[in-house]
Amino acid sequence: MATDSTAGKPSFLRNILARVLLLGVLIVVVRFAYVVTIAGESCTVGEFCFFSLPENLNIVAGTAASTANKAVRVAPAAGHTRPDIYTSKDWIKAVHFYSSTFQRLISDGFLSPNSKSLCVETPIGQDVFALKEIGVKDSKGVYKKASKPLVIGAKGNRLPFDNETFDFVFSGGGAFDKVSRPLDLASEIARTMKPEGFVVVHTRAAKDTYSFNSLIDLFNSCKVIRSREIDNYDSLMPSIREIVLQKKRKFLDHREEEVSGGNSVNKCSVPGHKRELVRNAEPLIIEEPLKPWITLKRNVQKVKYLPSMADISFRNRYVYVDVGARSYGSSIGSWFRKQYPKQNRTFDVYAIEADRTFHEEYKLKKRVTLLPYAAWVRNETLKFEINRDPGQDVQDKGRGMGRIQPVAKSDRTFEGEMDEIDGFDFADWLKKTVTKRDFVVMKMDVEGTEFDLIPRLFETGAICFIDELFLECHYNRWQRCCPGERSPKYEKTYDQCLDLFTSLRKSGVLVHQWW
């Protein structure tokens, strides 16, 4: 009996040691699984792992369907400060959505596993991860701030890739809507994409014809293949528009196009989406008002501003030109800054005013460029008349509304103040200052010179650069001071002004009768 008891002790100890060893191995395995698949880390810093993994090893699910049901993780670069982002529900939902999206694009022939792919404006790279997940291994993302290993740091207007590098470029999450200079990014996408490659843009804008065409115009090297509404994963943005474009074999660069636009061919055709805005504008006042200072001022409340009818996203710059600006508070400060619906866009403002009385105050105004000359049809010296209606009070330090005329043709007598000023070719300046991809708003109050400037804008094609025009037309209106008498300042009639407005609208220009 004693012999049997002694023989059983080593066997019991071996069992205990085996169980302890098995428990230790189990703890190591559980810890390893947690570090790699749950925490999203690699075993490179002694985190209870006994070997290291490559930094770029991803433990992923095999299909888009399983991605939604499993914890999808990516091993971030060493020193990553937000490992929890790869375990969030938003990350998993986004990856599942993009995986499904890319699989549909593969089925439709716009993407393949062999495509060299780029995702732009992607902060953390869910779309890049999804591409790799479905087998498009040669994929990378760019954003202004790097998020390794999926996203490298790069500015949208200077992508660090050679010409004709990618077969497929993707912009998701409405990111293109937020870009401050979308033309720069579109140009870089076109530069780095191979001929016949595909661009896919997901946008929450581009839902009206104006903004849709504004977006398409940015990609002058591409043709539209498809545009449709699709369901989105984000509850704040339940649907999104997916636009598929394909790069043409031969195309005109944006810079070449703008240069050629200023040559001999000055005619331009107004597209249908702009004519649609004109049809939806407030009606013109057909009958001459007996009290224009009341009727026209009230009509301002009925004006349908372009940004109230359409989304003005996807324009390269936003520009306001005030021709005949007078003082800063006359229209820039009192109306445009406070009342014009800008859709949170920042506008570059140009004030064109020949009267020296108002020049000094503009030196203190930010984001306002003063052109201290008279808008005219050519570069020449002009006479600037300071005049007033009968009974008009003295205003603006003794200055009245001034008219301009060439010195050589100024043979009529004029009793009052007169200055010699520099006039400049306004149409030529406009074509050199803005492009057709800018959003240009203009107010024109030039004391009758509109009958010279408007034909010149048509003649040169500069009219096509203007998206919205607020025009005060000057005619021999009834005077407030003297019932039954018309103003002697202007020779044109109300019917001639109406003809001017009508011809502008028939030509597709969104013009408003202004006061």
**pLDDT score, position 69:** 43
**pLDDT score, position 490:** 85
The strand pairing partners of 119, in sequence order, are 141, 170
Q: What is the rounded average pLDDT of the residues 326-351?
A: 96
The confidence band for 290, taking pLDDT boundaries of 50, 70 and 90, is confident
- How far CA 328 is from CA of 80, 96, 166, 324, 429, in Å, comes to 51, 54, 49, 11, 22
Q: In sequence order, which residues have a C-beta less than 8 Å from that of residue 344 and are 6 or more positions away? A: none
Which pTM was predicted? 0.77
The residue with greater pLDDT, 450 or 33, is 450
The string of pLDDT tens digits covering residues 45-68 is 344 444 333 444 343 444 444 444
Q: In sequence order, which residues have a C-beta less than 8 Å from that of residue 396 and are 6 or more positions away? A: 326, 327, 357, 358
Q: What is the rounded average pLDDT of the residues 298-326?
A: 94
The string of pLDDT tens digits covering residues 412-464 is 555 556 778 999 999 999 999 999 999 999 999 998 999 999 999 999 999 99
- Give the distance between the most distant pair of CA atoms in the chain: 144
Q: Where are the alpha helices (DSSP H) in 229-375?
A: 254-260, 272-279, 292-299, 306-309, 337-339
- How far CA 366 is from CA of 355, 362, 513, in Å, comes to 20, 8, 29
Backbone φ and ψ of 265, nearest 5°: -80, 105
How many other β-carbons are positioned within 10 Å of the β-carbon of residue 241?
20
Q: Are 382 and 407 in contact (CB under 8 A)?
A: yes
The confidence band for 488, taking pLDDT boundaries of 50, 70 and 90, is confident
The confidence band for 401, taking pLDDT boundaries of 50, 70 and 90, is low
